[in-house]
A and B are shown apart, each in its own frame.
Chain A
Amino acid sequence: MKITLKVWRQKNKDTKGAFKTYQVDHASPDMSFLEMIDVLNTDLIKKGEESIAFDHDCREGICGMCSLYINGHPHGPLQTTTCQLHMRTFKDGETITVEPWRANAFPVIKDLVVDRSAFDRIQQAGGYVNVNTGGVPDANMIPISKKIADEAFDAATCIGCGACVAACKNASAMLFVSAKVSQFALLPQGQVERKERAEKMIAQMDAEGFGSCTNTYACEAECPKGIKVANIARMNREYFGAMLSSYEVSSGGGGE
């Protein structure tokens, strides 16, 4: 296969970037998209040109590190991660445009590499159950209906890649945040801190500069793990519930 690639090149976060055009003359339909870029990078190094920087790690669709915006879609035309996209999806002779994720909250570091640390900070704001190691009840102490467990699992499969943000015209992170809020709102283990969690994670999401949700559902359409927008509705409900009731305790309990 012969492919023409238009790739975003940017030296570092402080310099201006631009598209550069490359020819890949010996792509094979069996290559993954990232392997095609590996081949291009080898060609570039042989010519004395610096290789294209891009994030990737597991190359089996689960780590969430790969993040290419291909022909106007995060992770390209299929609903997969970039590493699970194969060249057989494209036509011989096609021109393919490759960009980094575009969002204010995901600044470009170099070429196709962006900074997604905002996602970590949102999780640190409340994406956990406050339990220490040890001293927990037996795993079968609290039965959980299969339906609820399965629904929580579906939300928990989010890989944190950021395709939802890249797909959204508002660069909203609602799908990502709601997946974690939903997982814990559904499970009994998450009940105790349910309200604070929704409030804190949403506050951090706003502080990071992500946009608002206007229900275009572009996030769901592009999510490689099929996370549903129903999670966003659930998060909104959690948030309103949290705002309507005061959970703050006026003074520390006991011990005085």
Chain B
Amino acid sequence: MKLDSKIPEGPLAEKWSKHKFNLKLVNPANKRKYEVIVVGTGLAGASAAASLGELGYNVKAFCFQDSPRRAHSIAAQGGINAAKNYQNDGDSVYRLFYDTIKGGDYRAREANVHRLAESSVSIIDQCVAQGVPFAREYGGLLANRSFGGAQVSRTFYARGQTGQQLLLGAYSALNRQIANGKVQMYNRTEMLDVVIVDGKARGIITRDLLTGKIESHSAHAVLLCTGGYGNVFYLSTNAKGSNVTAAWRAHKRGAFFGNPCFTQIHPTCIPVSGDHQSKLTLMSESLRNDGRVWVPKKAMPGLKGIDAVKVPESERDYFLERKYPSFGNLVPRDVASRNAKIVCDEGRGVGSGLAVFLDFTDAIKRVGEDTIRAKYGNLFDMYAQITGENPYKGPMMIYPAVHYTMGGLWVDYNLMTNVPGLYALGEANFSDHGANRLGASALMQGLADGYFVIPYTVGDYLANIGWADKVGTDHPAFKEAIQSSEDRMNKLVNIKGKKTVDEFHRQLGLTMWEYCGMSRSEQGLKKAKQIIQDIKKEFWTNVNVLGTTTELNQELEKANRVADFIELGELMVDDALARAESCGGHFREESQTPEGEALRKDDEFAFVSAWEFKGENQPEELHKEELRFENVKLTQRSYK
């Protein structure tokens, strides 16, 4: 099968406008004859469901939480990029496009990224109109800040809770459509399968998490807005419930999975405090603007923040400043993360051994404690609350954690997977961030997809198939899918083994972190593949899920998700093995410069990997979508 990205012809800046004009429209009177399913209610899902409802389509929206407002977009802190150039500092749509392509280490499509930059401008207008209280200057206009090393101030923010405010904006638009009867909302409902008839997506199978009832829903199109899969690592900054199940089941029904090995590891998270740890907490990377990262030159096991002040300057190694004199502590996320791992692997980690210091002593001396408190007070408080240590009295301890997954379901320019009628939006698709996502770009992409891309592109598909082209839930394909979901649930509660779901999940996570985390090698990845296959075998014979399938059963929910994470883990390892180059968040030890920096190999690997499921326990088939760069020149990143 040939992958067709459907990128429109013509000059970069005109592609989207021309494409929009060429897309077919659905007659306003006919929109109500179509049904669209939206799975997930984060930024992408809520904005898509609301916008499609406004247009007149009948939407069914689903979330596994008790309310659509709890989707994990809510936890994004930093901000949202937009090429408004309100600061008169030289920003433009083209510059945002260029920074995003370069930041993604040239592994994203030019056309998609340019469209993202174009849409960014409208997102801010839309959110303000909804009543999103962005930060403002004294004159009453919107405030901006520079973020993640960008040279222009294009990030809009709402204190440290930008994701919350944007999500509540989208949630309010969604509520309006629920009240209007255009969106039917299903809370505490999890998608288990997608139903495909004659090659087109026709609906989904869901489980009511309160009653355990498995139900079918048919529609003309299905939109998966189900977020990323960072929880494959067990410990990540994702919410506990974030999972890959919807995307993975779609994959097993034929949708290709794009770039699964591209994950982002964020350098400034609070370190693990013990085996009981259930999740990791991110602190904004803005901390690196004033904090200096260091470890002792000679190993000092167990060194704590409060004692670090006694370590003389001559015995400290400010390793980022030493290795990257021009960028210092502000090197990109992947470089900062990998170097923290290197010094800890050398045995020079502090605290538990898996941590480095982030020291504000010099900044406090320079500008005073009050200024630092005004800038980072909420982050310092958060650190103190979680660790019980006072970061004004000694340096913070930080360690990298999985934060975002650039990979996801493969989609074309219309955000449609290779399965007609099945779409993926937001973090759930692989589309716009290449091998590495820039700060403040995730919120932008989720909302661009939902507010400004899908309302056009899904209309074209619907107009082409016509409203009569629908399959009812009485079709045998729905019956088969219901049966297979019920069988799976029954199987899980009847294994009655000895290990808890969390034990399997933790074991999988440790394996992924060790061999498919910040640094990957052929040897390690091959070992990981074997381990994961063993975990899978043991899971299906030795997991212990108590309770029944016909009630609220949180262990069963977890087991169902972890089973999919195990299979995804193996595909991530396959993808990392196939990509024998270093790029973005993916560092292959075999592909580095003599100085130990990432070495990208554009001649061999300037492609998107798209994996096709070929049957249970069969190797997946790799398809390659060549990436063509007509506007930007490919360069190697350097931060020396």
Pairwise interchain contact A35-B276, C-beta atoms closer than 8 A: yes
In the assembled complex, 11 residue pairs joining A and B whose CB atoms fall closer than 8 Å, in A order, are A56-B240, A57-B70, A58-B72, A59-B281, A109-B552, A123-B175, A128-B173, A139-B128, A145-B136, A159-B164, A183-B131
Q: Interface-forming stretch among A43-51, A211-219, A231-239?
A: A43-51
B476 within 8 A of A: no
Pairwise interchain contact B241-A57, C-beta atoms closer than 8 A: yes
Interface size class of B (residues with CB under 8 A): 35 or more
Query: Can you add 9 more A-B contacts, CB < 8 Å, to A133-B51, A140-B142, A187-B131?
Result: A28-B274, A65-B66, A123-B171, A124-B176, A138-B125, A139-B128, A143-B139, A146-B138, A150-B136
A221 within 8 A of B: no
Pairwise interchain contact B70-A65, C-beta atoms closer than 8 A: yes
What residues make up the interface of B, taking CB atoms closer than 8 Å to A?
Answer: 47, 50-51, 54, 65-70, 72, 74-75, 84, 86, 122, 124-131, 133-142, 158-159, 161, 164-165, 168, 171-173, 175-176, 178-179, 185, 187, 210, 237, 239-241, 273-274, 276-279, 281-282, 385-388, 451-452, 455, 500, 502, 544, 546-547, 551-552, 554-555
Pairwise interchain contact B502-A156, C-beta atoms closer than 8 A: no
Q: Interface-forming stretch among A69-77, A80-88, A91-99, A243-251?
A: A80-88
Q: In the complex, which residues of chain B have a beta carbon less than 8 angstroms from the beta carbon of A31?
A: 273-274, 276
Which residue of the partner chain A has the closest CB to B210?
A109
A123-147: which have CB < 8 Å to B?
Answer: 123-125, 127-134, 136-140, 142-146
Number of interface residues of A (CB under 8 A): 75
Which residue of the partner chain B has the closest CB to A152?
B133
**Of A45, A48, A136, A149, which one neighbours B555 at CB under 8 angstroms?**
A45
Known: A42-B502, A57-B65, A62-B164. A84 touches B385 (CB 8 A): yes
Q: Tell me which of A127, A142, A184 has the highest count of chain B C-beta atoms within 10 A of its own C-beta.
A: A127
* Alpha-carbon separation in the docked complex, A34 to B241 (Å): 14
Q: Tell me which of A50, A63, A124, A137 has the highest count of chain B C-beta atoms within 10 A of its own C-beta.
A: A63
Pairwise interchain contact B175-A63, C-beta atoms closer than 8 A: no
Q: In the complex, which residues of chain B have a beta carbon less than 8 angstroms from the beta carbon of A29?
A: 388
Pairwise interchain contact B70-A50, C-beta atoms closer than 8 A: no
* Alpha-carbon separation in the docked complex, A32 to B281 (Å): 12
Known: A109-B552, A160-B69. A129 touches B172 (CB 8 A): yes
* Alpha-carbon separation in the docked complex, A193 to B599 (Å): 57
Pairwise interchain contact A117-B187, C-beta atoms closer than 8 A: yes
A209 within 8 A of B: no
Pairwise interchain contact B158-A32, C-beta atoms closer than 8 A: no
Q: In the assembled complex, how far is the CB of residue A13 from the closest CB belonging to chain B, in whole angstroms?
A: 9
* Alpha-carbon separation in the docked complex, A55 to B279 (Å): 15
* Alpha-carbon separation in the docked complex, A69 to B187 (Å): 23
Which residue of the partner chain B has the closest CB to A145?
B140
Which residue of the partner chain A has the closest CB to B270?
A60
A155-206: which have CB < 8 Å to B?
Answer: 156-157, 159-160, 183-184, 187, 189-190
Q: In the complex, which residues of chain B have a beta carbon less than 8 angstroms from the beta carbon of A45?
A: 500, 544, 546, 555
What residues make up the interface of A, taking CB atoms closer than 8 Å to B?
Answer: 12, 28-32, 34-36, 38-39, 42, 45-46, 48-51, 53, 55-60, 62-65, 80, 84, 86, 88, 109-110, 113, 115-117, 119-120, 123-125, 127-134, 136-140, 142-146, 149-150, 152-153, 156-157, 159-160, 183-184, 187, 189-190
Pairwise interchain contact B278-A34, C-beta atoms closer than 8 A: yes
**Of B51, B124, B281, B551, which one neighbours A139 at CB under 8 angstroms?**
B124
Known: A51-B546, A57-B241, A59-B278. A157 touches B178 (CB 8 A): no
Pairwise interchain contact A86-B164, C-beta atoms closer than 8 A: no
Which residue of the partner chain B has the closest CB to A39?
B276
Pairwise interchain contact A58-B239, C-beta atoms closer than 8 A: yes
Pairwise interchain contact A146-B274, C-beta atoms closer than 8 A: no
Pairwise interchain contact A63-B72, C-beta atoms closer than 8 A: yes
Pairwise interchain contact A128-B172, C-beta atoms closer than 8 A: yes
Which residue of the partner chain A has the closest CB to B552?
A110
* Alpha-carbon separation in the docked complex, A137 to B122 (Å): 9
Q: In the complex, which residues of chain A have a beta carbon less than 8 angstroms from the beta carbon of B452?
A: 133-134
Pairwise interchain contact B75-A63, C-beta atoms closer than 8 A: yes
* Alpha-carbon separation in the docked complex, A124 to B131 (Å): 16
* Alpha-carbon separation in the docked complex, A142 to B134 (Å): 13
Pairwise interchain contact A132-B54, C-beta atoms closer than 8 A: yes
* Alpha-carbon separation in the docked complex, A31 to B72 (Å): 22
**Of B70, B158, B277, B554, which one neighbours A53 at CB under 8 angstroms?**
B554
Q: In the complex, which residues of chain B have a beta carbon less than 8 angstroms from the beta carbon of A130?
A: 176
Q: In the assembled complex, how far is the CB of residue A22 from the closest CB belonging to chain B, in whole angstroms?
A: 16
Q: In the complex, which residues of chain A have a beta carbon less than 8 angstroms from the beta carbon of B165?
A: 153, 156
Q: In the complex, which residues of chain B have a beta carbon less than 8 angstroms from the beta carbon of A119?
A: 67
Q: In the assembled complex, how far is the CB of residue B86 from the closest CB belonging to chain A, in whole angstroms?
A: 6
Q: In the complex, which residues of chain A have a beta carbon less than 8 angstroms from the beta carbon of B551?
A: 12, 110
Which residue of the partner chain B has the closest CB to A37?
B278
Pairwise interchain contact B133-A183, C-beta atoms closer than 8 A: yes
Which residue of the partner chain B has the closest CB to A28?
B274
Q: In the assembled complex, how far is the CB of residue B310 from the closest CB belonging to chain A, in whole angstroms?
A: 23
Q: In the complex, which residues of chain B have a beta carbon less than 8 angstroms from the beta carbon of A150?
A: 133, 136
* Alpha-carbon separation in the docked complex, A29 to B282 (Å): 21
Pairwise interchain contact A189-B129, C-beta atoms closer than 8 A: yes
Q: In the complex, which residues of chain B have a beta carbon less than 8 angstroms from the beta carbon of A36?
A: 276
* Alpha-carbon separation in the docked complex, A36 to B276 (Å): 8
* Alpha-carbon separation in the docked complex, A72 to B107 (Å): 54
Q: In the complex, which residues of chain B have a beta carbon less than 8 angstroms from the beta carbon of A42?
A: 500, 502
Q: Tell me which of A46, A60, A153, A159 has the highest count of chain B C-beta atoms within 10 A of its own C-beta.
A: A60
Q: In the complex, which residues of chain A have a beta carbon less than 8 angstroms from the beta carbon of B544?
A: 45
Pairwise interchain contact A125-B179, C-beta atoms closer than 8 A: yes
Pairwise interchain contact A64-B69, C-beta atoms closer than 8 A: yes
**Of B50, B66, B142, B278, which one neighbours A116 at CB under 8 angstroms?**
B66
**Of B69, B133, B277, which one neighbours A149 at CB under 8 angstroms?**
B133
* Alpha-carbon separation in the docked complex, A170 to B172 (Å): 27
* Alpha-carbon separation in the docked complex, A143 to B131 (Å): 13
**Of A48, A136, A146, which one neighbours B126 at CB under 8 angstroms?**
A136
Which residue of the partner chain B has the closest CB to A85?
B385
**Of B47, B70, B138, B547, which one neighbours A64 at CB under 8 angstroms?**
B70
Q: In the assembled complex, how far is the CB of residue A19 from the closest CB belonging to chain B, in whole angstroms?
A: 20
* Alpha-carbon separation in the docked complex, A140 to B129 (Å): 10
Q: In the complex, which residues of chain B have a beta carbon less than 8 angstroms from the beta carbon of A157?
A: 161, 164
* Alpha-carbon separation in the docked complex, A42 to B278 (Å): 13
Pairwise interchain contact B274-A30, C-beta atoms closer than 8 A: yes
Pairwise interchain contact A146-B133, C-beta atoms closer than 8 A: no
**Of A12, A64, A86, A145, which one neighbours B386 at CB under 8 angstroms?**
A86
Pairwise interchain contact B175-A117, C-beta atoms closer than 8 A: no
**Of A51, A53, A63, A129, which one neighbours B74 at CB under 8 angstroms?**
A63
Q: In the assembled complex, how far is the CB of residue A92 from the closest CB belonging to chain B, in whole angstroms?
A: 15
Pairwise interchain contact B172-A123, C-beta atoms closer than 8 A: yes
